[in-house]
Structure 1
Amino acid sequence: MNKSLFMGIGHRLSTKIPYFRLTEDATGRTSLSLLQKCTAAIRQLAYGGAAYQQDKYIRLAETTARKCLHNFTAGIITLFDDEYLRHPTPEDLERLLHTGDDRGFPGMIGSIDCMHWEWKNCPTAWKGMYSRGTGKPTIVLEAVASKDLWIWHAFLELQVL
């Protein structure tokens, strides 16, 4: 992620979501900075690391890192839901189909990505059906996004691809 995008997202979060504003506690100590909170959340999302791993890099406790991630994702949904996380309009579909044709992919309206997430609470009787080579059961998160990042279809699939 480039710096201007990161700072733009951070600025929107700090102006609209109270959790991302600097505050002082009863002793006068300043809260964590916007950069610390956003970096902790994005690192957890990007690398799939556990919340306790943020202590080594950003010096955050596990519960604080989890809280950063929760508030970050809730804030992103609140701020960008109408613009980016929506179903395409007929005009969007026409434009995307035209773009796909121009690039040599007729009939393509977006690209798909899937991600396996470990299913920690998988019922024991189902573990074999949902395990791949790792022996750990997973569920699949699937999303379709256009070139301008409109995510218009996402769902969990409880089948191994």
Structure 2
Amino acid sequence: MNKPLFLRIVHRLSTEVPYFQATEDAAGRRSLSPLQKCTAAIRQLAYGGGADTVDEYVRLGETTARKCLHKFTAGIIHLFADQYLRRPTPEDLDRLLRDGEERGFPGMVGSIDCMHWEWKNCPTSWRGMYSRGTGKPTMVLEAVASHDLWIWHAFFGAPGTMNDLNILDQSPVFDDIVEGIAPQVNYYVNGREYNLAYYLTDGIYPKWATFIQSI
């Protein structure tokens, strides 16, 4: 995470979530700073460590670190869900289609792919289900991202032994299309009209109308 983004998150939380606001006790001693609390939460999320792993780094006890993580995730959902943690609106879809067409991909609404995240503290009894190749247990994240790195679809937690196709079979990425509530899309390529938006993918994905393998 870059510094401007981190400071932006800290600022929003410290001004709009009471738990992250610095206070003083009766003796005039200041409480933990918003930087300490946010750093503790992000380190737990980034490294997958327990609440007792940040005690020396940010001077927080295990109970306080766990509470920081809970308040941080709740605050992120409350403050940023309407802007970031959501599916595209019709206005967003128009913008994505316009941006894609300007870059030579009419009808493209994003790139889809899967990535493996190492699970450092995976329970021993689950290691076989979450390990493949290197033997290190991983969880898989399926994501759709636009050219400006807006990740508007994320399906996380599938065992690391699964590949992109197994995960696609479980993913809700096409639920709107299956249920018939997906926004209508119309665009032309070589004089032919199409009404399904598509994703850019790599070669493992099937030859569906909603997937175009990148060159």
Same fold (TM over 0.5): yes
- Judged with a 3 Å threshold, the aligned counterparts in structure 2 of structure 1 residues 141 and 56 are, in CA distance, closer, same or farther, namely same
Max radius of gyration: which structure?
2
Confirm whether residue 160 of structure 1 aligns to residue 165 of structure 2: no
Q: Percent identity?
A: 69
Counterpart position of 1:76 = 76
Aligned to 1:109, the other structure's residue is in SS state strand
The amino acid that maps onto 1:10 is V
- Count the aligned residue pairs: 159
Counterpart position of 1:144 = 144
**Aligned ranges for residues 44-83 of structure 1 at < 5 Å?**
44-83=44-83
Q: Deviations over 1:92-130 (max 9, x none)?
A: 1222123223334454322445343638468x5x75444
- Judged with a 3 Å threshold, the aligned counterparts in structure 2 of structure 1 residues 140 and 3 are, in CA distance, closer, same or farther, namely closer
Q: Which sections of structure 1, spanning at least 5 residues, go unmatched? A: none
**Aligned ranges for residues 7-156 of structure 1 at < 5 Å?**
7-25=7-25, 28-112=28-112, 113-116=114-117, 118=119, 120=122, 124=125, 128-135=128-135, 137-156=137-156
The structure where strand makes up a greater share of residues is: 2
- Judged with a 3 Å threshold, the aligned counterparts in structure 2 of structure 1 residues 148 and 18 are, in CA distance, closer, same or farther, namely farther
Contact 1:84–1:149 (8 Å) recurs in 2: no
Q: Distance in 1 between matches of 2:54 and 2:77?
A: 23
The structure where helix makes up a greater share of residues is: 1
- Judged with a 3 Å threshold, the aligned counterparts in structure 2 of structure 1 residues 44 and 129 are, in CA distance, closer, same or farther, namely closer
Q: Distance in 2 between matches of 1:82 and 1:48?
A: 26
Q: Distance in 1 between matches of 2:35 and 2:129?
A: 42
Contact 1:145–1:153 (8 Å) recurs in 2: yes
The amino acid that maps onto 2:64 is T
- Judged with a 3 Å threshold, the aligned counterparts in structure 2 of structure 1 residues 110 and 23 are, in CA distance, closer, same or farther, namely same
Q: Distance in 2 between matches of 1:153 and 1:117?
A: 20
Q: Which one has more relative contact order, counting CA pairs under 8 Å at least 6 apart?
A: 1
Q: Deviations over 1:20-69 (max 9, x none)?
A: 01133466532210111112222333344443332332222233222222
Contact 2:118–2:136 (8 Å) recurs in 1: no
Q: Which sections of structure 2, spanning at least 5 residues, go unmatched? A: 164-215
Aligned to 1:160, the other structure's residue is in SS state coil
Aligned to 1:83, the other structure's residue is in SS state coil
Q: Deviations over 1:120-154 (max 9, x none)?
A: 468x5x75444213545544232323345543222
The Cα of 1:19 is off from its aligned counterpart by 1.0
